[in-house]
Amino acid sequence: MDMIKRPRRLRSGEALRKMVRETRVSPSALIYPAFVVEGEGRREEIPSMPGQYHYSVDKLLYKAEEMLSAGVDKMMLFGVPGHKDACGSGAWAEDGVVQRAMRALKERFPELYLVGDVCMCEYTSHGHCGILAGHEVDNDKTLDYLCRIALSQVEAGADMVAPSDMMDGRVGAIRSALDRAGRSNTPIMSYAAKYASAFYGPFRDAAGSAPAFGDRKSYQMDWHNSREAVKEALADVEEGADIVMVKPAMAYGDIIARVKAATNVPVAAYSVSGEYAMVKTCGRLGLGDETALMCEIAAGAFRAGADIYLTYFARELAEAMARGLIG
């Protein structure tokens, strides 16, 4: 058969396939989310997220060393406090669990890049991401508290803050607060398109952050919508976001692509706890190769346009990259 164009030519060998690969990834694009708890000597597996743990500050140092050895030099911290109250005061306390962890990590590993998740749901007794007015979250009143959280994290050692609350105007409020405090060089990675997703279940178990009543659909996004994601991302960039995030990742490749096309800042994708748990379950039940699934899902996010990838598989992905399984 006389064919001039044969696409299979470029798939004929491993070296050639890697040379013409369109999507390339690096450990430098990975951020590992970690859960920090009170106490000492604690490294306790999270039942809904096999292979992930609650770490006390002293044990988190060992995890950070493990991540750095694998080539992952960025971590995001989520706190699981011993005490919760209506206004989530532990989120901005000088001796809060995240603040103590950041100071310890920076002292031991100054090269580690720390991202602070700015939210209240893990710290409030009601499990919502802001200050309540009756049974509704008061958007504008919440902004002041988010600014307090961001400032406390930066003072403790955070290199970047990432507001995940989905309050209107929070990026602009935090940017102004940081600038007034002389922190104009601290970047903001905004959870710009954070959907009210069923994929968050294991995280809420891990962080003890499930709402005590109602849901978060009045502030997190409706997963039927895509134009709204672009609107949210553009608004956050206008308010001063340096990076915008899409969350979750796996079922939202179209959103990643649309946000990437509409903005001129780096785009992050958060592969959330439910995605992680699905891969682990498939592997455990023999329904798929865990490493191959992990790599394919990650490549899908990067292929859609993600520049940064937050994942509980950060170490395993970095190791897979070193073995040439992805990237």
Alpha carbons 171 and 189: distance in angstroms, whole number: 9
Q: Is 106 noted as a catalytic residue in this protein?
A: no
Residue 132: closest CA among 142, 144, 123: 142
DSSP notation for 183-220: -TT--BEEEEEEB--GGGHHHHHHHT---SSS-STTTS
Interacting residues of 159 by C-beta distance below 8 A, sequence separation 6+: 113, 114, 115, 186, 187
Q: Considering 74, 247, 260, 280, which one is annotated as catalytic?
A: 247
Residue 301: closest CA among 248, 250, 244: 250
Interacting residues of 263 by C-beta distance below 8 A, sequence separation 6+: 233, 234, 237, 244
Q: Is 247 noted as a catalytic residue in this protein?
A: yes
Alpha carbons 52 and 234: distance in angstroms, whole number: 34
Alpha carbons 167 and 174: distance in angstroms, whole number: 11
Are the C-beta atoms of 66 and 73 separated by less than 8 Å?
no
Are the C-beta atoms of 192 and 138 separated by less than 8 Å?
no
Residue 327: closest CA among 6, 29, 61: 29
Alpha carbons 239 and 188: distance in angstroms, whole number: 10
Q: Considering 59, 63, 74, 194, which one is annotated as catalytic?
A: 194
Q: Which residues are catalytic?
A: 194, 247
